[in-house]
């Protein structure tokens, strides 16, 4: 930071303010976390200086003695942690990882199938504004209107009718356990490649807290920075039979040089994720999410599916007479950071939807447990009931700063 401050005080000041912000707030964005100091150190390392197109032992530039070792260690840690036949650790993030899967198995115009965005799916699973929904013939399944859960009978019927080349499971707002074995059976029946996108839950899968898709899926795609608590990046794992297709699709198919500093940081995160401490952490993420869900239910919040099995809670604020956006902005002013989110069958627009999405990975990293979850639910209830009450928001933000000071965020000195 000293070097940064002397060269570019403007950016140094902004980084310091962001560190303070991350330290002082209750961060509930379901896709975010705090990485360890070790992961931060690898991310900000000399590996950012190096180009390495290709794979270990087969690169297009010289000077790969140490990069090859870093990437090989990262791959072997990923394979061992998840029990995968093959891993590619080069995708820049989740969307490029998924695009590589399309490139590996599909031609433009092929039929693909995934959970629709408004039902909790991801843009890259065939939503119409994404390349996945414009270059391919995307068919989207949803959730049941009565339970808001994925109906695998509907998925099977649609897959039988549409015969997709790719079948995606997973998403960005799925609060319940994903039944990977059932998806695999459907994919097998219709001759589809089954892709499990575990971006949100990969830390839970690594720790055995969510069933693993690895025995069932042709390809497993993930980001590395959510519950897995690594650097911002992506990763693909697959059966040995698909290894060549996946590697070729990532490079040279889609990307240039891998981000070696990210690969090193991912290797560190994977080592951390293989520890008993991480396993306990993942158990606590889910315990915290369940405690927060129960405390929100007690305060009259409507939760999609009634609760959660993982790190994520999706809340419909219609019964509280407030939109997701107004609530999210008021909560942010009060020191609680989350995102507004569509809920299934939302009648409002995505930029001002009915819901908010909440995740417990980051607060669990800093050591919050069940009592803090009850306190957070109480603060949320007060803010949502008074979204324009700025003195209330300031008071709560102060209380939150005091609480956060007792639970220092890893990797942040301020
Ligand atoms: N943006 C991520 C999320 O918040 O879930 C998914 O890409």
Q: For residue 414, is pLDDT > 90? A: no
pLDDT in tens, 247-272: 999 999 999 999 999 999 999 999 99
* Ligand 1: residue whose CA is nearest its atom 6: 172
* Ligand 1: residue whose CA is nearest its atom 3: 31
Residue that is written with structure tokens 């912000």 in the block: 21
Q: Which fold does the domain 40-273 belong to in CATH?
A: 3.40.640
> Which residue among 33, 122, 310 has the greatest number of ligand 1 atoms within 8 angstroms of its CB, and so is best to mutate?
122
Q: Delimit the domains of the chain by residue range.
A: 40-273, 279-405
- For residue 361, which of 70, 19, 35, 8 has the smallest C-alpha distance? 35
* Ligand 1: residue whose CA is nearest its atom 1: 31
Residue 2 has what pLDDT? 85
Count other C-beta atoms under 10 Å from residue 102's C-beta.
23
Q: Ligand 1 pocket by C-beta < 6 Å: which residues?
A: 31, 94, 122, 172
pLDDT in tens, 318-360: 999 999 999 999 999 999 999 999 999 999 999 999 999 999 9
Tell me how far apart the alpha carbons of residues 125 and 93 are, in angstroms, rounded to a whole number: 15
pLDDT in tens, 181-199: 999 999 999 999 999 999 9
Give the three-state DSSP class for 51: coil
pLDDT in tens, 279-322: 999 999 999 999 999 999 999 999 999 999 999 999 999 999 99
- Residues 6 or more apart whose Cβ sits within 8 Å of residue 281: 203, 207, 364, 365
Q: Phi and psi for 185 in degrees, rounded to 5? A: -65, -40
Atom of ligand 1 nearest to the CA of 172: 5
**CATH ID of 279-405, from 3.40.50.800, 3.90.1150.10, 3.30.499.10, 3.40.50.300:** 3.90.1150.10
Tell me how far apart the alpha carbons of residues 33 and 365 are, in angstroms, rounded to a whole number: 7
Question: Which pLDDT band holds residue 413 (cuts at 50, 70, 90)?
Answer: confident
List, in sequence order, every beta strand (DSSP E) within 165-218: 166-169, 193-197
Tell me how far apart the alpha carbons of residues 261 and 98 are, in angstroms, rounded to a whole number: 21
pLDDT in tens, 108-161: 999 999 999 999 999 999 999 999 999 999 999 999 999 999 999 999 999 999
């Amino acid at each position: 930071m000293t070097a940064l401050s002397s060269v570019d005080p403007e950016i140094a000041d902004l980084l310091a303010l962001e560190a303070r912000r991350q330290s002082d707030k209750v961060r509930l964005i379901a896709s975010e976390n705090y990485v360890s100091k070790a992961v931060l150190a690898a991310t900000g390392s000399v590996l950012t200086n190096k180009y390495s197109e290709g794979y270990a032992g087969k690169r297009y530039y010289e000077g790969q003695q140490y990069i090859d070792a870093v990437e090989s260690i990262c791959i072997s840690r990923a394979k061992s942690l998840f029990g995968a036949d093959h891993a590619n650790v080069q995708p820049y993030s989740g969307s490029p990882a998924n695009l590589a899967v399309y490139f590996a198995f599909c031609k433009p115009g092929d039929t693909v199938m995934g959970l629709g965005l408004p039902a909790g799916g991801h843009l890259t699973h065939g939503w119409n504004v994404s390349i996945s929904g414009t270059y391919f013939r995307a068919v989207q399944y949803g959730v049941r209107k009565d339970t808001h859960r994925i109906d695998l009978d509907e998925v099977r019927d649609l897959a039988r009718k549409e015969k997709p080349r790719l079948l995606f499971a997973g998403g960005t707002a799925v609060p319940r356990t994903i039944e990977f074995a059932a998806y695999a059976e459907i994919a097998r029946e219709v001759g589809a490649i089954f892709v499990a996108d575990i971006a949100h839950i990969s830390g839970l899968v690594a720790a055995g807290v969510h069933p693993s898709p690895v025995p069932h899926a042709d390809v497993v795609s993930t980001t590395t920075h959510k519950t897995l608590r690594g650097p911002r990046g992506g990763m693909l794992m697959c059966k040995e039979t698909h290894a060549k297709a996946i590697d070729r699709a990532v490079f040279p198919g889609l990307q240039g040089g891998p981000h070696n500093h990210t690969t090193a940081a991912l290797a560190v995160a994977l080592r951390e994720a293989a520890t008993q401490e991480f396993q306990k952490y993942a158990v606590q993420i889910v315990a915290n999410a369940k405690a927060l869900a129960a405390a929100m239910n007690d305060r009259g919040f409507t939760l999609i599916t009634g609760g959660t099995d993982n790190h994520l809670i999706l809340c419909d604020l219609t019964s509280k007479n407030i939109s997701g956006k107004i609530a999210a902005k008021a909560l942010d002013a009060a020191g609680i950071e989350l995102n507004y989110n569509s809920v299934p069958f939302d009648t409002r627009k995505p930029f001002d939807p009915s819901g908010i999405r909440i995740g417990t990975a980051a607060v669990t990293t800093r050591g919050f447990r069940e009592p803090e979850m009850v306190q957070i639910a109480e603060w949320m209830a007060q803010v949502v009931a008074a979204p324009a009450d700025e003195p209330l928001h300031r008071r709560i933000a102060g209380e939150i700063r005091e609480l956060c000071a007792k639970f220092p965020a890893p990797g942040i000195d301020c």
